[in-house]
Amino acid sequence: MLADRSTMNPQDRTGPWVELRSARYQTFIYERMVGKASPDAKAGDVVAVYDRHGALFGRALYNPRSMIALRMLHFDAAVIDEAFWRATIARAVALRRDVLRLDEATEAYRLVHAEGDGLSGLIVDRYRDTLSIEVFSVGMYRMLETLIPILHDAAGTVHHRVHVDDHVLKQERFEAKPFASDAAPKSIKLTEHGVRYRVDFASGHKTGFFCDQRDNRVRLAQMSRGAHVLDLCCYSGGFGLSAKVIGQAEDVTCVDLDEDMVEVTRGNANLNQVRLNTVHADAFNYMRQMQANGRTFEVVVLDPPKLVFGRNDQGDGRAKYNDLNRLASTLVSPGGLLLTCSCSGALSREEFVKLTTASATRDGRTCQVLDVSGAGADHPVNTRCWESEYLKAVWLRLG
């Protein structure tokens, strides 16, 4: 719906409000676009948003301390009340259950994907009867007391764990601590496409498990039959396990710098009664050693953590992606597959494809782009916020 275009004098406005210098129909409204705010508008408030002519533009979560000053919730005159939160969360749950029918394939999926579901700053992953929640804004953090019961009602879950990353706390300039419901499990076992995993909330990153790569894991498995597979930055071993359990790969080597995650990967291999080669090492050092040994693999997966953290971070992050991909490509056998990924939202899909293909062909090798995929459909992209399309997975066949 378009905004209510009627104008109103500031003196007649009720509740906290913000007036814009310029109004655009996008989820993120940056601080430079904000003109003025009412004296009672505080960080974390739901505010009415007006354009520079005084017309009601919509409602948003406000944080004057953040570069993203407003996170738009809608662009109409409707109030933000419990009915709004219930309806928005119900739509998100219906997508996963009624449209995508994810309960038939997995016990782990993204229930709420922030901007993609109209709930900017809120990520919720469902692991069986437990919700793993990550918050990216002070406004959403303060709304959790209202939102968590609604989420449990909609999902039929019992437990929850809440995480706020230190980087987010610095960006949003607020203080928060992780918390959990009474008797919330510290770890949980689940099944995805027949592969079993243990999600360790204490040692895991983000929400504990990377649901976004679910479809890519299955697809890689289909290309791994009888292959020697190298899973770099393996986290809990998702790609390697899928290659071995579903794809019947000849052998799989999983490498990660985090010793705790290497131990989790070993445990996941035992859960599935398969043998993996697990290596605790820095990916750069390991690849250089394999390069020196002349070792190659028919399938190589490179899925590093986020390396580009914002628009001003492009230089260092791009250089790291370039170096990683250059080394990884040297370990791919002729005719083999390189699946290379980026979860950096500030790096566009087009840029990442150009970067990876340039790295792979630097030594004169031929390169075919088989596909460029992303996260599963439970990670929808809001066309008013293309930053929500963060995951890129480039499938390369190297000659």
The pLDDT score that the predictor gives to residue 15 is 83
- CATH code 3.30.750.80 region(s) in the chain: 82-180
**Assigned token pair, 233:** 């930055």
Q: For 359-385, what is the mean pLDDT?
A: 93
Among 240-249, 265-274, 361-370, name the one with the lowest average pLDDT: 361-370
Helix axes of 82-94 and 138-155: crossing angle, nearest 10 degrees: 60
Binning pLDDT at 50, 70 and 90, where does residue 1 land?
Answer: very low
**Token pair 């292959």: residue:** 227
pLDDT tens, residue by residue, 213-242: 999 999 999 999 999 999 999 999 999 999
The pLDDT score that the predictor gives to residue 143 is 96
- The amino acid that residue 375 corresponds to is A
Fold (CATH) for 82-180 = Transcription Regulator spoIIAA (3.30.750)
Helix axes of 283-293 and 314-330: crossing angle, nearest 10 degrees: 30
Q: Is the pLDDT of residue 157 over 80?
A: yes
Q: For 349-368, what is the mean pLDDT?
A: 92
Q: Is the pLDDT of residue 53 over 50?
A: yes
**Distance from C-alpha of 360 to C-alpha of 327, rounded to nearest angstrom:** 9
pLDDT tens, residue by residue, 375-390: 999 999 999 988 788 8
**Distance from C-alpha of 86 to C-alpha of 112, rounded to nearest angstrom:** 13
- CATH code 3.40.50.150 region(s) in the chain: 187-398
Long-range contacts of 37-42 (CB under 8 A, 24+ apart): 37/62, 37/64, 38/10, 38/13, 40/15, 40/16, 41/16, 41/17, 42/16
Q: Residue 123 pairs with which residues in a beta bridge?
A: 113, 134
Collapsing DSSP to helix, strand or coil, 207 comes out as coil
Collapsing DSSP to helix, strand or coil, 260 comes out as helix
Q: Please give the backbone phi and psi of residue 311, each rounded to the nearest 5 degrees, phi first.
A: -65, -30
Q: Work out the percent of the chain whose per-residue pLDDT is above 90.
A: 80
Q: For 92-106, what is the mean pLDDT?
A: 96
Fold (CATH) for 187-398 = Rossmann fold (3.40.50)
Identify each DSSP E strand in 233-303 by its residue range.
Answer: 251-256, 277-280, 297-302
Binning pLDDT at 50, 70 and 90, where does residue 161 land?
Answer: very high
DSSP for residue 120: T
- CATH code 2.30.130.10 region(s) in the chain: 10-74
**Distance from C-alpha of 149 to C-alpha of 377, rounded to nearest angstrom:** 25
Q: Is the pLDDT of residue 308 over 90?
A: no
Parallel, antiparallel or unpaired: strands 187-192 and 195-200:
antiparallel
Question: In the chain, how long is the greatest CA-to-CA distance?
Answer: 75
Fold (CATH) for 10-74 = 2.30.130
Share the mean pLDDT of the chain.
92
Global pTM value: 0.89
pLDDT tens, residue by residue, 16-26: 999 999 888 99
**Assigned token pair, 6:** 């009627």
Question: Residue 51 in contact with residue 20, Cβ under 8 Å?
Answer: yes
Q: For 169-193, what is the mean pLDDT?
A: 91
**Assigned token pair, 208:** 């504990």
**Assigned token pair, 111:** 């229930």
**Distance from C-alpha of 152 to C-alpha of 238, rounded to nearest angstrom:** 27
- Please state, as a whole number, how many other Cβ atoms lie within 10 Å of the Cβ of residue 237: 27
Q: Is the pLDDT of residue 69 over 60?
A: yes
